[in-house]
Structure 1
Amino acid sequence: MSKRPAPSPAAFTPSLPRDADSYAGSFQLHINVASRHLTQKRHVIVYLPPGHGADPAVRYPVLYMHDGQNLFDGDTAYIRGHDWKMARTAERLMLEKKIEPLIIVGIWNTGIHRIDEYTPTRDPGVKQGGLLPLYGRFIVEELKPFMDATYCTDPARDRTGIGGSSLGGLAALLLGLHYSEYFGRIAALSPSLWWDHGVAFRLVRHLKRKPDVRIWLDMGTREMGGGIAQVRRMRDLLIEYGWLPDKDLFYREVRGGKHTEDDWGKRVGTVLRRLYPVKTSRTRKPRPTALAGS
Structure 2
Amino acid sequence: MQFTSDYISLKGSVFSFNLDRSVAFRLVAPPNYRESQTLFSVLLMNDGQDYVGLNLEKTLSDAYKDKKTIPFIFVGIEADQNRLYEYGTSISADFKGRGNKAIQYSKFIIEELIPFLGQEFKVSPPVQNWVYCGFSLGGLSAFDIVFNNSQFFGKVGVFSGSFWWRKKAYQKHDMEDRSRITLDMIKNSKHRAPLQYFFQCGTEEETDDRNKNGVIDVIDDTLDVINELQSKGYSYPGDICYKEIEGGKHDLSTWGSAMPQFIKWAFQKD
TM-score over 0.5 (shorter chain)? yes
Give 1:8's aligned residue.
none
Cα deviation, residue 128, structure 1:
2.4
Whether contact under 8 Å (2:18, 2:108) holds in the other structure is: yes
Rate the CA distance shift 1:203–1:22 in 2: closer, same or farther, 3 A. farther
Residues 146-186 of structure 1, C-alpha deviations (whole Å, 9 max, x = no match): 11111111123132111101001101111101000001110
Q: Which moved more, 1:184-193 or 1:220-229?
A: 220-229
1:112-158: CA deviations, max 9, x gaps?
x101000123323x442221111011011111111111111112313
Query: Which residue of structure 2 aligns with residue 266 of structure 1?
Result: 257
Distance 1:212 1:117 in 2: 26
Q: If you compute each CA radius of gyration, which structure gives the higher value, 1 or 2?
A: 1
What is the aligned counterpart of 1:85 among 55, 73, 97?
55
Structure 2: 5+ residue stretches without partners: 167-178, 209-216
Hey, what does 1:43 align to over in structure 2?
24
1:254 matches 2:245: yes
| TM-score (norm. length: structure 1) | 0.79
CA contact (8 A) 2:126 2:152 kept: yes
2:189 alignment partner in structure 1: 207
Give the TM-score of the pair, scaled to structure 2.
0.86
Q: 1:232 deviation in Å? A: 0.8
Aligned to 1:65: 45
Amino acid at match of 1:255: E
Q: 1:150 to 1:221 in 2, by over 3 A?
A: same
Counterpart AA for 2:16: S
More deviation in 230-239 or 196-205? Answer: 196-205
Instruction: Kindly report which structure 2 residues correspond to 1:1-294, keeping only aligned pairs within 5 A, or say none.
Output: 23-31=5-13, 33-55=14-36, 57-71=37-51, 73=52, 83-111=53-81, 113-120=82-89, 121-124=92-95, 126-196=96-166, 197-224=179-206, 225=208, 226-279=217-270
What secondary structure sits across from 1:34 in the alignment? strand
Alpha carbons 1:257, 1:263 under 8 Å: kept: yes
> For the Cα contact (< 8 Å) 1:158–1:185, is it kept in 2?
no
The percent identity for this pair of structures is 26
Shift of 1:263: 0.7
Q: Cα offset for 1:35? A: 1.1
What is the one-letter code of the residue matched to 2:17? R
How many residue pairs match? The answer is 245
Question: What SS does structure 2 have at the residue aligned with 1:42?
Answer: strand
- Which secondary structure state, in structure 1, belongs to the residue aligned with residue 31 of structure 2? coil
Render the CA deviation track for 1:174-210: whole Å, top value 9, x for unaligned: 1101000001110111100011241111111121111
Report how far residue 22 of structure 1 moved.
9.0
CA distance in 1, matches of 2:192, 2:200: 20
Partner-residue secondary structure (3-state), 1:158: coil
